């Protein structure tokens, strides 16, 4: 999937304007990059179009230990929305991300995160 296709899919699923989709994607993907251990972030970045990979790679230092609610709160802060909207934004971006990466990488990604994240990706459990 190209960057343009990724963004178009996010815009369509979220019914966003182009600039709103860009802000949401940057917030969710950037927060995910901060949450993942560096090696996992690198593996994820390897499967993304360059602009998205660059967002993941911008995170520095050790992985954050946010649970789902803290993750959603971080997205809400970045998008200047409430947690309900931030959770919906996260679900939309994660659903497109799940379509982008391989099943094996998806399983690795979900296994690196606490329970609750799989459901945000639209996966009740590892596939």
CATH 1.10.490.110 fits 3-121, yes or no: yes
For 76, 77, 91, 103, the CA distances from 44, given in Å and listed in that order, are 23, 23, 17, 12
| Model confidence pLDDT, tens digit, residues 11-51 | 999 999 999 999 999 999 999 999 999 888 999 999 999 99
Domains of the chain, by residue range, sit at: 3-121
- Give dist(CA 48, CA 124) in Å, integer: 23
| Model confidence pLDDT, tens digit, residues 60-104 | 778 899 999 999 999 999 999 999 999 999 999 999 999 989 888
């Amino acid at each position: 999937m190209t960057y343009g296709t990724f963004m178009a899919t996010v815009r369509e699923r979220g019914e966003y304007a182009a600039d709103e989709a860009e802000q949401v994607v940057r917030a969710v993907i950037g927060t995910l990059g901060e949450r993942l251990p560096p090696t996992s972030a690198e593996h994820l970045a390897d499967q993304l179009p360059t602009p998205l990979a660059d967002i993941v790679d911008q995170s520095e230092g050790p992985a954050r230990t946010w649970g789902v609610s803290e993750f959603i709160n971080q997205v809400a802060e970045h998008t200047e929305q409430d947690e309900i909207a931030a959770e919906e934004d996260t679900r939309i971006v994660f659903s497109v991300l799940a379509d982008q990466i391989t099943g094996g990488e998806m399983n690795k990604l979900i296994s690196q995160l606490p329970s609750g994240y799989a459901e945000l990706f639209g996966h009740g459990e590892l596939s």
